[in-house]
Amino acid sequence: MSCTTTGIGIDARGIGWAAKGNRWLIEDISFSLRPGERLAIVGPNGAGKTTLLRCLYRGLKPRLGTVALDGADIWQMSATEVARCVAVVLQESPAAFPFSVRDIVFMGRIPWRRGKAHWSQIDREQTEHALEHLGLTSLAQRRFATLSGGEQQRVLVARALAQEPRLLILDEPSNHLDIRHQLEILDLLKGLGITIITTLHDLNLAADFATSVLIMHDGRMLASGRPEAVLTSEMVSNAFGVTAQLSQPGSEAASRFTFSLNSHSGD
Ligand SMILES: Nc1ncnc2c1ncn2[C@@H]1O[C@H](COP(=O)(O)OP(=O)(O)OP(=O)(O)O)[C@@H](O)[C@H]1O
C-alpha cells in the first residue's frame, strides 16, 4: 500500500444491534480511536465480536448508536466513500471462484476504479506492492482455491492493503496461520501506521499487538482501555469462565497468560 496513507479516527457511540424482533446481540458499545491506534476486540465465542465489526464497516446498520470516521457518520457517506477509507478482512474466503491470487488482490482496487475503465498504472503498482508486502509475488499466478489456509489469509490481507485503507478491520487475522506467520502478519500490520480494529482469540497476541483492548461478554462491553489495564487475571477469568494467571518471568519479558479450567467445570 501507499507509504503516504495515514490512519483515520473512529468514534463508535452506544452501538446496539438485534435482528428484527429478536434480543439484542450487542448493546451499548462505545469506544474511540485516534488515527494510527490499534484496537483488539476479545471475548468468548458468541460474545458479539463479529456483529460489532459488521456495524463498524457498514455491513450492518446499528439499530442504536452511531459510527463516525473523522467526525463523519458512515451512514451519511456513500458505500464507495467508505470503501476508500475502510478495508475489511473477514473469515470467509472466495475459495469457490476460479480467481488467481493477483485477480483477488486487484479486487482491492475496485473502490478506486472509475466506471468500467481498465486498471490504471496506480492500480497495478498498488497490487504488485501489496503482493510483495505479503510475500506473495511467487504465488501471484496460482489459483486462490489451491492455496493453503494460511496463504489464502495472506492474500486477503494483501487485497485489503491494495485498497489503501485508512482503517483496516480484521476478523481473526491469525486464524490458519502458524506461529511465525501470525507474528509476521501482526508485525506487518503494526508497521502500517493506519488505524486497525481486529478480533483476536489469542490474548497474548492481543496484548502485544493492540494499543487498546475491548473485552466483550454476552453482547456487552466488559472493559476497554490499555491492554495492561484491561487484560488482568480477574477480568479475563470473568469473561472466559476459566482461571487465567498472568506470569511475569523477567522484567524485559512481556506478561503472559496461562489458562486452566475452573475447578468446578468439566465434570
Ligand atoms: N444475523 C443474525 N441473526 C441472529 N443471530 C445472529 C446473527 N448474527 C449473529 N448471531 C448470533 O449472535 C451471537 C454473536 O455472534 P458473533 O458472530 O457476533 O459472535 P463472536 O463473538 O464473533 O463469536 P466467535 O468468537 O465464535 O466468532 C451468536 O450467538 C450468533 O449465533
157-205 pLDDT, tens per residue? 999 999 999 999 999 988 878 888 888 889 999 999 999 999 999 999 9
User: What spacing in Å lies between the alpha carbon of 48 and ligand 1's midpoint?
Assistant: 5
Looking at the predicted structure, is the pLDDT value of residue 52 above 60? yes
Coil, helix or strand at residue 30: strand
Q: Which residue has the higher pLDDT, 146 or 262?
A: 146
Report the separation in Å between the CA atom of 52 and the middle of ligand 1, taken as the mean of its atom positions: 9
Element (H, E) at 213: strand 212-217
Cβ distance 134 to 161 under 8 Å? Answer: yes
Pocket of ligand 1 (CB under 6 A): 19, 25, 43, 45-51
Residues 6+ apart with CB under 8 A from 89: 153, 156, 157, 159, 160, 168, 169, 170, 171, 173
State the Cα–Cα distance between residues 132 and 42, nearest whole angstrom: 30
Mean pLDDT check: name the lowest of 32-46, 84-98, 158-172: 84-98
What is the number of the ligand 1 atom nearest to the C-alpha of 19?
3
Q: Which ligand 1 atom is at minimum distance from the Cα of 48?
A: 18
Displacement of CA 91 from its chain's centroid (Å): 10
- How far apart, in Å, do the first and last CA atoms of the chain sit? 51
Instruction: List helix spans (H) across 74-178.
Output: 79-85, 101-106, 121-133, 149-162
ipTM of the shown complex:
0.96
Using an 8 Å Cβ cutoff, are 174 and 198 in contact?
Answer: no
Output the CA 220–ligand 1 centroid distance in Å. 13
Is 60 exceeded by the pLDDT of residue 247? yes
pLDDT averaged over every residue in the chain: 90
Which pTM does this prediction carry? 0.92
**Which atom of ligand 1 is nearest the CA belonging to 219?**
14
